[in-house]
Each structure stands twice: as C-alpha cells, then as structure tokens.
Structure 1
Amino acid sequence: MPPKNDPELVALRKEVEDLYKKLQEAQKKVEDTSLEKACESVGAAPKVKLSTKKLMKGHLNKVNSIHYSGDSRHCVTGSLDGKLIIWDTYTGNKMQIIPLRSAWVMSVAFASSGNYVACGGMDNMCTVYDLNNRDANGVAKMVRELAGYDGFLSSCRFLDDKSLITGSGDMKICKWDLETGRKVSDFIAHNGDVVSISLAPDGNTFVTGSVDKTCRLWDIRENKPKQTFFGHEADVNSVSYHPSGYGFATGSEDKSARMFDIRSDQQLALYKPPSPNSGFTSCALSISGRILLCGSDDNNIHMWDTLKNQHNGVLSGHDNRVTSISVANNGIAVASCSWDQTVRVWG
C-alpha cells in the first residue's frame, strides 16, 4: 500500500474531491426547492410524547444492536457479554438466551417470519440460529456459520428465511443462500467499511451506509450500485429506507441526520440536533415517515418532524451511548439499546 503522502495518491484524492464538487454543483443547479419550502402549507406535527413502556435488563455488558421481528412483538439484542436475547416486548420477559462463540457481536437481525436470527461482529462471521429448534441444552440451534470475510461483520438483514445479505469491514456486500450456506454473490460496495444496510419496503432494493461518507442504492438482482449519494462529512453510521420507498434517512458521525430522495438523486433535508455535540449512531423512521428518530452518543434519541425540519424533542432515559434503534413493523413502538446494558421499549 503506498504511503498517505504519496504524490500520485494525493493527486488522485484531489481529483475525486473535485469530481464530488462538480457533482454537488450539478445537483444544486437542478434543485428547484427544498423539503421545508415544499411543505410550508403543511401543519407542524404534534409533539411526540413517548415514554419507556418496558425497561428490559438482562445483559451484563454493552448492548450493540437490536432488531424487531415481523410480528412487532419480539426483538433480538446482541451484547458484548456474548449473548443474544430474544425479548417479548409486551411483557418484558426473556424468551430465549443464546450463548455465542464470540462475544464481539456488532450486528443482529431477526427474520420477519420470526423463525431465525443472525448475528456477527469481530469474529468475521455471520451466524444464523433457528429459534424453533433446540439443541440438547435447550438452546436455539445454530444452523449456519457464514465465513469468508476479510473484515468484521457490521450489518446483516434477512431477505427471507432462505437468503441473507451482509455488509462488512472489508468493504463488501455478500448475499447468501441459507439452505446451502454458500455465497450467491460478493462484491466491493464502498471505499470503506460498510456499516449499515436498510431494505426497501418492496424487498427489491436496499441502501448501504459507509465509513467512506457515502450511501449507495442497490438492486438485489444486480451487483453494481444504481446510485451514490454524497453530502455527509464523516462516517454514515446508519441508513433507514423511507416507508414510501422513494427515499431514505441517514444518521452520521458528522453530527447530522439527512433525508435523501432517490428520484431526484440528491439530499432533501439536513437535520441538526439542538446541541452541536451529538453524533448519531443509528436512525429509524416512523411508519408514516413523518418522524425521524436518531440514537445518539449523547445518551438520547433525537426526533424531528421530517417535513418541517423541526426538532421534535428527545427520548431520555439511557445512561450511556444509544447504539441501535428499531421501529416495530406496526409502527406503535420503538426499541432501543445502549452501552448502559439495558433495552428500552418506547410507546
């Protein structure tokens, strides 16, 4: 690898930055309005009043990831204590505890059917468990170990019970056939770690966020990006597809959240927190897409009215960085997890 101050590398970086600027100038020329201007006649959304309905304790270390099942009742969390916990968010009870071979879990996923969960992290592997089958110890059966990454596993999402996509620190996206345990495709997706994946409502496309400060739109049937979105000035930690399927929201290390429109191929809105020291670890949109929620390293979840670009308040309760949030499919609850070792369900 050439040194960072290599003249050729410096020249290439400058060329790329100049191209970025030209692209942004071209986008600005065709930008005829902003989301706030277009929605001037729309009334402001009422203040969102959510409170902690369930405070779920059980993990013994930082909780890094959370994801709802398709039934909007159960969720899975992964923690550095080396356990996955399946929770019943209605009662707050633990339904299953799954001990992991590696404690360094960074991402979890629940199949929308509720039959399988997947997890992975610093072990450079994605492990899939069948919740309906138990081994001799009464623990959910491990059905697949998907190996073959040159970097940590940062994100995973089930397409259905038979296929899964993953993003990793080796800049790749992989699609897996869970029946055979084989890679269907694997391709370089970004110029830095892939850190977040969000599936479109119709399941045909997905968006990725990366350390290279960009987001990309992909078609599940193709291995090349359909669109690349620029604008963020630091790692894009989280992406969330808009329920309409026409856009997506992002949360970034650059202390901003943004909304991008797929059809006009550009940024629609920039959301800033009231305090300038809140970097965003995770983001999710309400079922209508009107409210954007972002988990922050300032221990809060920030909310915005997406159309009016107004900060709508914060959900306070966690005592440490909020690492991940997930909105239930039916839209009536939000689950969050944190380095404070707890899981909260807001409603």
Structure 2
Amino acid sequence: MANKEMSVAELREKHMAAAETVNSLRERLRQKRLILLDTDVAGYARAQGRSAVTFGPTDLVCCRTLQGHTGKVYSLDWTPERNRIVSASQDGRLIIWNALTSQKTHAIKLPCAWVMTCAFSPNGHSVASGGLDSVCSIFNLNSPADKDGNLPVSRMLSGHKGYVSCCQYVPEEDTHLITSSGDQTCVLWDITTGLRASVFGGEFQSGHTADVLSVSISGMNSRMFVSGSCDTTARLWDTRVASRAVHTFHGHEGDVNAVKFFPDGNRFGTGSNDGTCRLFDIRTGHQLQVYQQQHGENEASQVTSIAFSISGRLLFAGYSNGDCYVWDTLLARVVLNLGSVQNSHENRVSCLGLSADGSALCTGSWDTNLKIWAFGGHRTVI
C-alpha cells in the first residue's frame, strides 16, 4: 500500500514538473515570437504612409429597430440573400424578420427556452438553434405548423455533453453544420442522418481545455474552421483531421467569446473578455494586430461579438457596455462608435452580423431589440 502511495505521489510530482516545463517552453516561444514580430499591421501601415478610413455618424445610420422579443437577444444570423434575419432570445423564441420591412415572418417557440445560438441554412429554408439543453434543433421553415401554431422540430442533433454555445452551417451545404459546446468540443454534424461526422477535441490532447464558445468556418475553404474558448485560446481545425488542431493561437488573457474568418480566408479575428480584438494569420500562426480600447482607469468592456466588412478593412465589435466600435483594421483605430450615436442600444451588444452583400449591419442587444444599420450618404460598402 505504501509503495502505491509513493508511486502516486511520484507520478503527481512528475506531472507537475512536466507542466512547469511546458509552461516555461510556451513562455520562451512567446518571447521568441515577440522578437521576430518587430512590427504589427498598424505599425507597418503607418510606415507606408497609409491614412485611416474617414467615417462619420451619417456614414452608418440606424434605419430600423426590430421590436418583438421580450427577453435579451443572444444571437442573430442573416440569410445569404440578405433580406432575412433570424434572432434568438431569452424569451425562448426564434424570430425570422424581413430586414427590408421589419415584419416578422415566423415566431418559433423553442422546446428549450434557454437558447444561446441560431443560424440560417445556406438555402434559407431552415434555421438551427442550440442552448442549455445540449441539443442543436433544426426547424424547416416550410413545414406546416402544428395545431397550437408552433413549428415542429425537423431534426434534433444530440450528442454534446454540455450546452451548445454556437452553430454554423458549412457554406453552400444545407446538410452539414458545426457546433461548439461547453463540453470542450466542436462537432461536425450530418443533418440528414442526425449523426456526428467528426468530433474535435475532447479526449484529444490538442483540443480545448475549457468551454468552447464560438466557431467560424472559412468562406474560402470550408474544410477549415476556427474555434474560441474559455481556455483563452483560439484553435484552427481541418475537418479531415479531427484528431488534433492544426494550430493553437495564444495571446488573449480572457475567454475568447467570438471568432470570425477574415474575407481572404488567410486570417481570422477574435474578441475576448480581456477587452481586446486580435488578428491572427493561419499560415504563420502569428498575431498580427491587437485592437484595444483606450479606457482610462475603468476596466475594459468585454468583446461579445465581431464581424468584418466585405473587404476586411473594417472590423465591427460589440461590447458588454453597449458600445459597438467600427475599427480600421489596417491602422487599429476606432473610426466610429455606434454606442454613442442616435438610436443606439441601451444595454450590452450581445451579437452582430453583416448582410451577405455588406450593405447593412445588424446588432442585437440585451435591451431586447435588434437594429439594422445601413451605410448611408456617399459611403459605399467597404
């Protein structure tokens, strides 16, 4: 018995020593990378004489407020044809909106009211949602309503052991989607069969070590996706190699709440509880830029959600204090704060998304409303 106790103690000691070695090597690697990165995107752009985007309060104006939810709005998504939006709320409903008229076309009562995420299918005929029931539910918008007027669930994707935090359909595929979960994994689902095609993370050492909060699939290569987690990292995955992440990206000092691929597919952005957004390169693994608020003595507001403009020149970031910054990604400057203009939200901006053609931004908030912001005046879509 004494020998067993000794062996356990020895194993624990060896494990602690190995963990210290790993942390030491990781810090040395971080320092080496800092030496190699003698500049960032903004520093290089300034050295090249590039000027910031000029952006005024009339260049992005609130043209519609979508009212109908009775609880906090947690998630939203646009259809590819840009004229419809789905939103998910604490009131336990998904609402499908006509973005051009503000009319509601569907109000779907969810089997579990604790919803956290929603997404439109590429063809716009279905929506997916997930939340604290650990299930991703699919609704066919063309299905007839039941006798109580509710839209039935057409497919339930069950398999996660924790809440479903985010879901996204694979671009141009209505039969596959990827979910992230509080069980530290992401899953690629075959909606036709309702089965898991691949699981990313979990028992594998290269997976996340805490809740996964967000995913983004590359628009240039749908086999690649990134995930953000409470373990402060973002990870790049290839759906053909589920056993280990292609790369792990360090830098944040808080939960990574949002990830979004850059339009060219070679970079991606992140938003975190540490109050910063960051830009990473998937080819080199390097951090290219930090987007940080100037916030005096007050603690930085958490970044809840991000989106890029069509060209990637603008980064839209929603914050827990109700701000919504428009960043110039090249020079890392805030060119507009939608939280300070007329008709802004009165609470946390919890989600946002750009229409497929880049002509409008939609923001959702804990104030129960969604707002559509249109590029106005002489401004063309950037």
Normalising by structure 1, what TM-score?
Answer: 0.94
> 2:107: which partner in 1?
97
Residue 237 of structure 2: which of 212, 215, 218 is its match? 218
Shift in Å, 1:309: 1.1
- What letter corresponds to residue 200 of structure 2 in structure 1? F
User: Is the 8 Å Cα contact of residues 196 and 237 (structure 1) preserved in structure 2?
Assistant: yes
Q: How far does the alpha carbon of each residue in 1:242-295 deviate from its partner, in whole angstroms, 9 at most, with x for none?
A: 001110111100011111112221111111113253111111111111111111
Q: Which whole-Å CA distance do the structure 1 matches of 2:22 and 2:118 have between them?
A: 34
Q: What is the alpha-carbon distance in structure 2 between the residues aligned to residue 43 and residue 312 of structure 1?
A: 12
Change (3 A) 1:315 1:186: same
Question: Which of residues 163, 188, 202 is equivalent to 1:152?
Answer: 163
* Paired AA for residue 42 in structure 1: R
Distance 1:252 1:36 in 2: 20
- Using the TM superposition, give the Cα deviation of residue 343 of structure 1 relative to its aligned residue in structure 2, in angstroms: 0.7
Q: Do residues 176 (structure 1) and 189 (structure 2) align?
A: yes
Contact 1:131 1:141 in 2 (8 A): no
1:246 equivalent in structure 2: 266
CA contact (8 A) 1:280 1:297 kept: yes
SS of 1:134's partner is: coil
1:74 and 2:84 matched: yes
1:80 CA displacement = 1.0
Q: Distance in 2 between matches of 1:250 and 1:150?
A: 25
Given the alignment, which residue of 94, 99, 104 partners 1:84?
94
Deviation by residue 1:86-113 (Cα, 9 ceiling, x = unmatched): 0111111111110001110001111121
Indicate conservation of the 8 Å contact 1:323/1:339, yes or no.
yes
SS of residue in 2 equivalent to 1:307:
coil
1:17 matched to 2:17: no
Distance 1:343 1:11 in 2: 51
* Residues 127-138 of structure 1 aligned to structure 2 (within 5 Å): 127-137=137-147, 138=149
Equivalent of residue 334 in structure 2, options 299, 302, 311: 311
CA distance in 1, matches of 2:17, 2:276: 29
Counterpart in the other structure of 1:340:
367
Amino acid at match of 2:333: Q
The structure having more radius of gyration, on CA atoms, is 2
What are the residue-to-residue correspondences of 1:106-125 with 2, within 5 Å? Answer: 106-125=116-135
- On the 8 A contact 2:274/2:300 being kept in 1, the answer is no
Aligned to 2:142, the other structure's residue is in SS state strand
Is the partner of 1:55 in helix, strand or coil?
Answer: strand
Match of 1:65 in 2: 75
Tell me, yes or no, if the aligned pair for 2:146 and 2:152 is still in contact at 8 Å. Answer: no
C-alpha contact 1:327 1:334 (8 A) present in aligned 2: yes
Shift, 1:220, TM fit: 2.1
Matched, 1:196 2:210: no
Distance 2:60 2:26 in 1: 40
Asked if the contact 1:299–1:322 (Cα under 8 Å) also holds between the matched residues in 2, the reply is: yes
SS for the counterpart of 2:81 is coil
CA distance in 2: counterparts of 1:242 and 1:179, whole angstroms: 30
Mapped contact 1:132–1:140 kept (Cα < 8 A)? no
User: Is 2:282 the counterpart of 1:259?
Assistant: no
* Structure 1 unaligned regions, length at least 5: none
Which structure 2 segments of 5+ residues have no match? 1-7, 202-206, 375-382
1:142 aligned partner: 153
Q: State whether structure 2 residue 53 is matched by structure 1 residue 45.
A: yes
Cα distance in 1 for residues equivalent to 2:52 and 2:287: 21
- 1:29 and 2:25 correspond: no
The count of corresponding residues between Structure 1 and Structure 2 is 343
Cα distance in 2 for partners of 1:77, 1:280 equals: 19
Aligned-residue offset at 1:142: 1.6
The match for 1:323 is 350
Cα distance between partner residues in 2 of 1:207 and 1:244 = 14
Aligned to 2:248: 228
Q: Which amino acid aligns with 1:163?
A: H
TM-score, structure 2 length as denominator?
A: 0.86
| Residue 174 of structure 2 is aligned to residue 164 of structure 1 | no
Give 3-state SS (helix, strand or coil) of 2:288's partner.
Answer: strand
State the distance in 1 between where 2:151 and 2:358 align.
Answer: 28
How far apart are the structure 1 equivalents of 2:16 and 2:321?
Answer: 35
Between Structure 1 and Structure 2, the one with more strand by share is: 1
**CA distance in 1 between partners of 2:276 and 2:15 (Å):** 29
Does the aligned pair in 2 maintain the 1:247–1:260 contact within 8 Å? yes
Deviations 1:98-155 (A, max 9, x none): 0001110001111121111100111111000111222334544421111121110001
Amino acid paired to 1:166: T
